[in-house]
Structure 1
């Protein structure tokens, strides 16, 4: 998939100057939130190798990129909202990021709400675990700042027109 111009994480920055830097250099995200945003962008762009490289799951330490793709390949991630962060700064050893991510699977839409836990090991932030809730059939409502026209490129970064994708 061709990387989008605007980063899928919602920062409004150019992809290559935002999450693209971390995708090209796994292990370099300076904060738990930066890692969370880059992991969301990796899911949105189906970069499952990056997801596997940036986690150390308590319950499944050997999860491969192929296994991640099998369970997430049909999901189209549409929008990320960061709700709260606790710790997770450059000098911290642990952090928590609470977020909501809107998604689309076929004709269904939904929202994943999660409190993700991160730990810094050997200078690298890693996703450890998360408590999540999935709400199905939630309408996607673009924030006023992200309103797009029917023929504009889709905000999810798919490369399709908005009307043929998430619109």
Structure 2
């Protein structure tokens, strides 16, 4: 099965090891892609654990889970990645995530900011377009 993140790779070789906590993403883009796959699979623990502690929406856990299960995820398009390499401490990934909600195609267009602490990447915030 191809990975949900639209990388073209098999899920087992792409995002699944991250979602199962067998590997950690070494770039901001890999983290962003794995977070998309976590939304598709409703892996709320992964979403919260990869969200930086200063902006983590822990009180919204039930609402996030309810929303991720209420939509049908369609595809991810990565538009641009800046920095976020294994040697960086900060990175930005612009993307569009398409989903069906109430039968209507919608999308999130975001420029996400990621930071690396203790050699782990975290989502910290995003600007919507």
Larger radius of gyration: 1
Q: Hey, what's the Cα distance between the residues in 1 that align with 2:60 and 2:106?
A: 25
Matched, 1:96 2:97: no
Name the residue aligned to 1:142. Answer: none
5+ residue gaps in structure 1? Answer: 134-167
Contact 2:55 2:124 survives alignment (8 Å): no
TM-score (norm 1): 0.71
Q: Does 1:47 align with 2:43?
A: yes
Q: Which structure carries more strand by proportion?
A: 2
1:106 aligned residue (78, 102, 105): 102
Distance in structure 2 (CA, Å) of the matches to 1:86 and 1:25: 25
**Cα distance change, pair 64–54 in 1 and its aligned pair in 2 (3 A):** farther
The count of corresponding residues between Structure 1 and Structure 2 is 129
Aligned position for 2:78: 82
How far residue 70 of structure 1 moved from its aligned partner, in angstroms, is: 3.1
Q: Per-residue deviation at 1:59? A: 4.3
Q: CA shift at 1:6, angstroms?
A: 1.1
The alignment's TM-score, normalised by the length of structure 2, stands at 0.90
Partner of 2:127: 131
Structure 2 residue ranges without an equivalent (≥5): none
Alpha-carbon displacement from aligned partner over 1:137-160 (angstroms, at most 9, x marks no partner): xxxxxxxxxxxxxxxxxxxxxxxx
Distance 1:117 1:26 in 2: 24
2:5 maps to which of 9, 18, 23: 9
**Residues 23-49 of structure 1: CA deviation (Å, up to 9, x unaligned):** 111771000000000000110111111
Distance change >3 Å, CA 27–CA 74, structure 1 → 2:
same
Q: Secondary structure at the match of 1:10?
A: coil
User: What RMSD over aligned residues (CA atoms) do the two structures have, in Å?
Assistant: 1.8
> Which structure dedicates a bigger proportion of its chain to helix?
2
